[in-house]
Amino acid sequence: MRLVSLILRNAARSRARVAFTLGSVVVAFLLLGLMLPVLRVFDSRVDFADANRLMVLNKASMMRPLPISYGDRIAELDNVSDVGHFTYFGASYRDPGNEIPAIVTDPAKFPDLVDEVAFRDEGTLSDWQSDPSSIAVGRELADEYGWQEGDLVPLYSSIYTRSDGNPVWTFRVGTIFDGATEDSVTNSVVIPYGFFNTERSRGKDTVGWYAVRIDDANAAEVTGEAIDAVFENSPNETATTTERAFAKSFLNQIGDFKTMIGAALILVFWTLVLITANAQMQSIRERFGDFAVMRILGFRKRRIAGMILSESLLMMFAGGVIGMAVAAVAVAIVAANGEALLALLKLDWRDWAIGAGLMAGTGLVVAAVPATLAARQKITDGLAEAL
């Protein structure tokens, strides 16, 4: 028998309690493993937002359009290096419930204005930019539906009908773009503005919002104020913000989801940890007599405390690794079958590092008090408890 074996046998003294305690730890870290990737995806959406890019929206409502003529006036302002515009198309494919992200923009400016995508095939890029009825499709979306350059794709718009009243728009796939980074989302369709603007039945010569590239991110606020000042008292006043601030405010608008998830995670996690701690402390408390016997046999206080700490860490790491491993599998399944942000979910090394830190920290916290008590108790008191 070795000390490790002694720790294991001691820990398994009450198998039912070990099973329940381990179960609590597994559930706690399963929850952690499921939530951490979700929280990170929220963060990543904000991180991806460019601090050097301003969003110019209609001040009355982000759903109301802005005139196309605003673009040239914005471009004349100081600190503005480029201006592009976007309009939400409201697309779905095959049936109205199968929505896909689709935006309308100027193909000539899109590659330079949006850093998150990469056009690896210059030939098809120029094809898309020169053919007004062609679309650019993200790699994930193309792979999902098996679309290739040259395919004709009918898209249903829930917002815009064509001049003949038909809500179905048929486009040719002009090019397929990739993500600039591994985390970039490529599940969208980009539609040329010219063709769209000519063909639509209403809202001509308007855009959804402007994206403004600025030279100096530190002057973003001043530039935003300057843009809004230009259109002050006009029929379509603007509200300008950085993309990052917009992304944050958008998340805030849906109820500060991240904070709620984070708070729920912390509450549930610590509830489970407290239950575990209670069970662990009770288990150790019941063995004070055994520890007194070990002390009398020559085990030093430090060794006793070390054994209790090891037992607690063992419990936390065993349950924690199982819980996070199950979470990793669950997250991978969700990501493989999910769309949009769900497809980004991944339990990566950062989550494992946080998990390992919490396993170690919790194990130490849980064991600290009983280890100290066991080490400090008088042998004679411990022996009396064993009776």
Q: What does the binding site for other proteins look like in residue numbers (CB under 8 A)?
A: 1-3, 5-6, 9-10, 12-13, 289-290, 293-301, 303, 378-380, 383, 386-387
Say how many Å lie between the first and final Cα of the chain, rounded: 26
Which stretches of 49-89 are DSSP H helices? 70-75
Least Cβ distance, residue 374 to other proteins (angstroms): 14
Nearest to other proteins of 134, 283 (CB atom): 283
- Is-contact 57 209, C-beta < 8 A? yes
- Is-contact 64 207, C-beta < 8 A? no
> Cα dihedral angle (161, 162, 163, 164), rounded to 10 degrees?
-90
- Token pair 């290739």 in the structure block, residue: 148
Least Cβ distance, residue 277 to other proteins (angstroms): 21
Tokens of 202: 């209403």
Nearest to other proteins of 229, 296 (CB atom): 296
Helix 301-337 vs helix 3-11: crossing angle, to nearest 10: 70
Least Cβ distance, residue 21 to other proteins (angstroms): 16
The H or E element spanning position 373 is helix 349-376
Nearest to other proteins of 12, 274 (CB atom): 12
Nearest to other proteins of 1, 254 (CB atom): 1
Nearest to other proteins of 293, 334 (CB atom): 293
Nearest to other proteins of 90, 289 (CB atom): 289
Least Cβ distance, residue 368 to other proteins (angstroms): 20
DSSP 8-class letter at 169 = E
Least Cβ distance, residue 42 to other proteins (angstroms): 47
> Cα dihedral angle (262, 268, 270, 275), rounded to 10 degrees?
-170
Least Cβ distance, residue 317 to other proteins (angstroms): 21
- The DSSP annotation for 291-347 comes to HHHHHHTT--HHHHHHHHHHHHHHHHHHHHHHHHHHHHHHHHHHHHH--GGGGG---
Nearest to other proteins of 11, 347 (CB atom): 11
Least Cβ distance, residue 363 to other proteins (angstroms): 20
* Dist. CA 84–CA 71, nearest whole Å: 7
Nearest to other proteins of 47, 286 (CB atom): 286
Nearest to other proteins of 369, 383 (CB atom): 383
Least Cβ distance, residue 334 to other proteins (angstroms): 41
Closest of 53, 87, 56 to residue 240, by C-alpha: 56
- Is-contact 56 225, C-beta < 8 A? no
- Token pair 């000042």 in the structure block, residue: 229
